C-alpha cells in the first residue's frame, strides 16, 4: 500500500469521524469506488486510533476526571464523579467488544464489507437518527446518565459494527431517544469512543504481532 493511499484514508477518517455519517463506511467505499485494494479491518482500526488523540485532547477535562477516578474504581468505589464515569464507560464498552469478537471469529466482519450492506444501513439508520432528533426530548445532561443508559447506549454502539452504521450516529440516536440534549448526546458518544477505540486498537495490535510471529 502506497503512502498516498494511506494519506487519503487518513484524510477520509479525519473528515468523517466526527460526523454521524460512518467513517468506517467511507473507508470501505473508497477502494471499491477507486478499484484499489481493500485495506482491510486492521488499517481501518489504525486510522481510528489516529483520531483518538484528537478526541482525548478535546475532551481532556473529562479524560482527566476519569483518570483521577480510576484508583477509586479499582478499589470498588464509584462514588466520585470520575470513578462513576469510568465505570459507566466500561459498561458501555462491553457490548461492542463482545459482539466484535463474535463477528471477527466467525468471519462476518469481513463479509459485511460490501456496498449493498453499507447503502442500506446508511439509509436506514440515517432515518432513525432523524426521527430520534425530532422526537427525542431535551431534558437530560451527560452528568446524569445511569447504569441503564450505559447499557442501552452500549447496545446502540454494538449495532454500529455493521458497516454503514455510524458509531457516533448510532450512539447519538440512542442518547436522543433517552432524552439527552444534543450537545450532551454528542459528548457521551465521543467519550464512549475512547475506550472502544483503545480496546479495538489493542486487539488489532495483538493480531498483527501474532501474524508476524507466525510468519517468522
- Please list the pLDDT of the chain residue by residue as tens digits (216 residues): 788 888 898 889 888 878 887 887 888 888 888 888 888 777 877 787 888 888 999 999 999 999 999 999 999 999 999 999 999 999 999 999 999 999 988 988 888 878 888 889 989 999 999 999 888 877 899 999 999 999 999 999 999 998 888 889 999 999 999 999 999 999 999 999 999 988 887 877 777 777 667 665
* Total count of domains within the chain: 1
- Count CB-CB contacts under 10 A for residue 134: 8
Q: Which three cell numbers, joined as nine digits, stand for 198? A: 483503545
Closest CA to 157 of 194, 112, 184: 194
Backbone angles phi, psi at 140, to 5 degrees: -120, 150
Q: What share of the chain is helix, strand, coil (3-state, %, to 5)?
A: 80, 0, 20
The pTM of the full predicted model, rounded to 2 decimals, is 0.85
Q: In terms of residue numbers, what domain contains 64?
A: 3-215
Amino acid at each position: 500500500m502506497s503512502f498516498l493511499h494511506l494519506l487519503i484514508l487518513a484524510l477520509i477518517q479525519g473528515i468523517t469521524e466526527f460526523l454521524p455519517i460512518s467513517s468506517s463506511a467511507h473507508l470501505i467505499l473508497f477502494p471499491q469506488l477507486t478499484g484499489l485494494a481493500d485495506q482491510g479491518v486492521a488499517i481501518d482500526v489504525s486510522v481510528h486510533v489516529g483520531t483518538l488523540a484528537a478526541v482525548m485532547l478535546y475532551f481532556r477535562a473529562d479524560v482527566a476526571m476519569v483518570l483521577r477516578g480510576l484508583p477509586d474504581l479499582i478499589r470498588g468505589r464509584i462514588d466520585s464523579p470520575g470513578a462513576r464515569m469510568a465505570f459507566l464507560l466500561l459498561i458501555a464498552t462491553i457490548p461492542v467488544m463482545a459482539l466484535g469478537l463474535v463477528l471477527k471469529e466467525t468471519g462476518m466482519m469481513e463479509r459485511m464489507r460490501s456496498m449493498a450492506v453499507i447503502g442500506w444501513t446508511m439509509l436506514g439508520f440515517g432515518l432513525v437518527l432523524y426521527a430520534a432528533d425530532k422526537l427525542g426530548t431535551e431534558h437530560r445532561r451527560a452528568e446524569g446518565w445511569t447504569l441503564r443508559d450505559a447499557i442501552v447506549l452500549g447496545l446502540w454502539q454494538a449495532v454500529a459494527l455493521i458497516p454503514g452504521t455510524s458509531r457516533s450516529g448510532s450512539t447519538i440516536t440512542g442518547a436522543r431517544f433517552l432524552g439527552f440534549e444534543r450537545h450532551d448526546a454528542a459528548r457521551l458518544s465521543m467519550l464512549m469512543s475512547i475506550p472502544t477505540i483503545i480496546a479495538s486498537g489493542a486487539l488489532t495490535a495483538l493480531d498483527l504481532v501474532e501474524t508476524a510471529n507466525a510468519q517468522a
